[in-house]
Amino acid sequence: MIRSLTLVRHGESQWNAIRVIQGHLDSPLSEAGRAQARALSAVLRQGEYDCVFSSDLSRAMETGRLALGSDAEIIAEPRLREHCFGRWQGLSPEDVQRRFPDEWSRYRADPLTVRPEGGESVTDLRDRVAGLLDEWHERLAGRRVLVFTHGGVVRVSVMVALGLPLSPWGRLRVPNASVTSLEFERDGARLLCFGSVGHLEALKLVAGTAEEVNGDAA
């Protein structure tokens, strides 16, 4: 198994700032998001990592480049993309409620199994991420892994690693540019920190989480 897993949510994007659901669509970092990403440098450079992965969406990849430097070797991994919200992507939560009221209500009542048209359920997201983690445990045994990704992926990664049910999904908050860390030992995983933003608070860069669809719409 891997030795450690550090998960970083991307900095605030332009769509985060105006509360638009992104999912697999892309939106560049806002100026605040770029400042958040640069602030990550101080905390991430205190650690040691054997390999670095990122969602292939630019808001995650740009966060990694700003945090680690433009010459950092970062491997793009599509399975680290955010929860796919299908036809809701590009809309605000209010737009979704107005245009697809029945689908919105079903999803809000049961996000674990209900899929927006063209999108994923939370269980689908969990299965996607669990498959990737299983692959890493086999292929990257003993390695310290750093990941730049999205709020939904952070949450399900922690739940998979700790063997937790998905039911608390909507109650977990993952701020932009926050850090979550896990260590793995023979008797299981240990959560060292979740959604840490201490590196942002001193610089007054903590923004809203833009969590509007049972979690991050990011």
The structural domain count of the chain equals 1
Which of these is catalytic: 10, 83, 150, 199? 10
The answer to the question of residue 34 being in a domain is yes
**Residue 213 counted as domain residue:** no
Active-site position among 62, 82, 103, 120? 82
Q: How far apart are CA 82 and CA 136, in angstroms?
A: 19
Answer whether residue 27 shows pLDDT above 70: yes
Q: Which residues, in sequence order, are bridge partners of residue 145? A: 5, 51
DSSP structure string for 53-113: EE-SSHHHHHHHHHHH-TT---EE-GGGSPPP-GGGTTS-HHHHHHH-HHHHHHHHH-TTT
Q: How confident is the model at residue 104 (pLDDT cuts 50, 70, 90)?
A: very high
207 pLDDT above the threshold of 70: no
Q: What is the pTM of this model?
A: 0.94
User: What pLDDT sits at residue 46?
Assistant: 87
pLDDT tens digit sequence for 127-168: 999 999 999 999 999 999 999 999 999 999 999 999 999 998
The answer to whether position 30 is within a domain reads yes
Grade residue 215 by pLDDT with cuts at 50, 70 and 90. Answer: very low
199 catalytically annotated: no
Q: From CA 59, how far away is CA 12, in angstroms rounded?
A: 8
Confidence label for 45 from pLDDT (cuts 50, 70 and 90): confident
Is residue 73 over pLDDT 80? yes
- For residue 174, the model assigns a pLDDT of 97
Quickly state the pLDDT bin for 211 (edges 50, 70, 90): very low
> Is the residue at 76 inside a domain?
yes
In a domain, 206, yes or no: no
Instruction: Give catalytic status of residue 48 as yes or no.
Output: no
pLDDT value of position 213: 59
Containing structural domain, residue 196: 4-201
Residue 29: strand pairing partners: 13
Q: What is the CATH classification number for the domain harbouring 55?
A: 3.40.50.1240
Domain assignment of residue 126, yes or no: yes
Instruction: Please report whether residue 208 resides in a domain.
Output: no
Q: Answer yes or no: is 212 within a domain.
A: no
Q: Where are the alpha helices (DSSP H) in the chain?
A: 14-17, 31-44, 58-68, 93-99, 101-109, 122-139, 151-162, 198-201
The pLDDT of 108-131, averaged and rounded, is 97
